[in-house]
Amino acid sequence: MTTVILRTAIVAYNLGGPDGPAAVRPFLFNLFNDPLIIRAPEPVRWCLAKFISWRRAPVAQEIYGKIGGGSPILKLTRDQASALEAALRGGGDTRVFVAMRYWHPFAEETAAEVKAFAPDRIVLLPLYPQFSTTTTESFLRVWEKAAGDAGLTAPTTTLCCYPAEDGFISAVAALARAAIDEASKAGPVRVLFSAHGLPGKVVAAGDPYVSQVKRTVESVAKRLAMNGLDYVTCFQSRVGPLEWVRPYTDDEVKRAGADGRAIVMVPVAFVSEHSETLVELDMEYRHLAMESGAAAYVRAPAVGTDPAFVAGLAALVQRALGHGPGLISADGGRCCGAEWSACPFGKG
């Protein structure tokens, strides 16, 4: 009896980042020209993206200059892909590809690589644990076109989110616990679970991201099982004049400092280190914490290639393959409340 070995392509995708100073401005243009980031008609959006990228490029170049001139996210994502590929060995001919939304390798580049691999099936794996229209949906839109242009016809399973997946939660909790143990030597601890923010109007339009971030935090806090754990869910990296979802991370850093707490900062939406963790959290908020009177400031690392996280990703891939083509969440079906109309299970 002949055993059929299926060729499986896993496309692990993330935001991306500039690989050097010259890439900063075009990276920013790609970001702000995304219709799910600036929700304006195309001619207006293009002009705004040109202006914003021109205006913000010098500041952004200065930020990236603090970490070597570019983002480490591509290398770190490739490390995750390699670790995931190793975890999936024994499951047939499986290869993990990396794609980025706003810088190389773009969706069309990765789609061409996948086409050359000639897979029998494809799994789209977000490296965003929580679903948002601005991240996961944005990539899926460009992937659909890229896959069509590349002539990819293999059945595809699309994973939308995994805010409370066991391996992910275990990894975040273990890293948080180590940071809490260190910070507690200086006094009472307050844990700030920080995620990238969203404009309030995006949330008001039904985007489930904030609710999923809160689910992640609740799951981590439960896993920590620490009586009287003092913690806050907060949001960082806001830009522009719009009102963003609160509470803001910088405000919570100041409040914790004023209360004399030892601050533990835990990223809960970033799975790789990049400018928002290495500069904003490690440098800017550390300085703000000390300036505000915090007893200590300890930042837990992003989950990266933590074995529990990688095992969780492998389990998600196996579940997706068992499900077959179509949309799936870590819960199987819809995991958002009915009020979140932008949930992909609630569309069409």
Contact 111, 31 (CB under 8 A): no
Given a cut of 70, is residue 3 above it in pLDDT? no
Domain that holds residue 150: 7-162+307-346
**Residue 269 belongs to a domain:** yes
Q: Is 281 exposed, middle or buried (0-12, 13-18, 19+ CB in 10 A)?
A: buried
Average pLDDT across the chain, whole number? 96
**Domain end among 283, 299, 315:** 299
Contact 97, 124 (CB under 8 A): no
Query: What six digits make up the tokens of 26?
Result: 């075009």
Would you say the pTM of this structure is higher than 0.85?
yes
Q: Which residues contact 210 (CB under 8 A, 6 or more apart)?
A: 198, 203, 235, 245
Residues 110 and 129 in one domain: yes
Q: How confident is the model at residue 347 (pLDDT cuts 50, 70, 90)?
A: low
**Residue 44 belongs to a domain:** yes
Phi and psi of 242, rounded to 5°?
-70, 155
Given a cut of 70, is residue 96 above it in pLDDT? yes
Residues 181 and 88 in one domain: no
**Residue 13 belongs to a domain:** yes
Given a cut of 50, is residue 202 above it in pLDDT? yes
Stretch among 104-108, 237-241, 289-293, 303-307 having the lowest mean pLDDT: 237-241
pLDDT digits (tens, 9 = 90+) for 220-261: 999 999 889 999 999 999 887 889 999 999 999 999 999 999
Q: How confident is the model at residue 348 (pLDDT cuts 50, 70, 90)?
A: very low
Rounded distance, CA 102 to CA 140, Å? 13
Given a cut of 80, is residue 335 above it in pLDDT? yes
Residues 211 and 321 in one domain: no
Of 152, 174, 171, 133, residue with least CA distance to 315: 171
Given a cut of 60, is residue 69 above it in pLDDT? yes
CATH number, position 31 = 3.40.50.1400
What is the predicted pLDDT for the residue at 322? Answer: 95
Query: Residue 162 belongs to what H/E stretch?
Result: none
What is the predicted pLDDT for the residue at 269? Answer: 97
Rounded distance, CA 250 to CA 53, Å? 24
Pairing relation of β-strands 93-100 and 231-236? unpaired
Residues 138 and 198 in one domain: no
347 or 163, higher pLDDT:
163
Residues 293 and 205 in one domain: yes
Of 109, 121, 125, residue with least CA distance to 156: 121
**Residue 53 belongs to a domain:** yes
**Residue 288 belongs to a domain:** yes
194 or 4, higher pLDDT:
194
Residues 172 and 254 in one domain: yes
**Residue 152 belongs to a domain:** yes
Q: How confident is the model at residue 179 (pLDDT cuts 50, 70, 90)?
A: very high
What is the predicted pLDDT for the residue at 240? Answer: 78
Residues 154 and 170 in one domain: no
What is the predicted pLDDT for the residue at 91? Answer: 57
Contact 121, 200 (CB under 8 A): no
Residues 175 and 292 in one domain: yes
Residues 137 and 29 in one domain: yes
Stretch among 1-10, 71-80, 246-255, 289-298 having the lowest mean pLDDT: 1-10
Contact 92, 8 (CB under 8 A): yes
What is the predicted pLDDT for the residue at 2? Answer: 52
Q: Is 42 exposed, middle or buried (0-12, 13-18, 19+ CB in 10 A)?
A: exposed
Given a cut of 80, is residue 158 above it in pLDDT? yes
Residues 29 and 142 in one domain: yes
Residues 152 and 93 in one domain: yes
Question: What domain count does the chain have?
Answer: 2
Which residue bears the tokens 């290639």? Answer: 305
Q: How confident is the model at residue 271 (pLDDT cuts 50, 70, 90)?
A: very high
What is the predicted pLDDT for the residue at 346? Answer: 83
pLDDT digits (tens, 9 = 90+) for 127-138: 999 999 999 999
Residues 69 and 143 in one domain: yes
**Residue 2 belongs to a domain:** no
**Residue 18 belongs to a domain:** yes
Before 43, cis peptide (omega within 30)? Answer: no
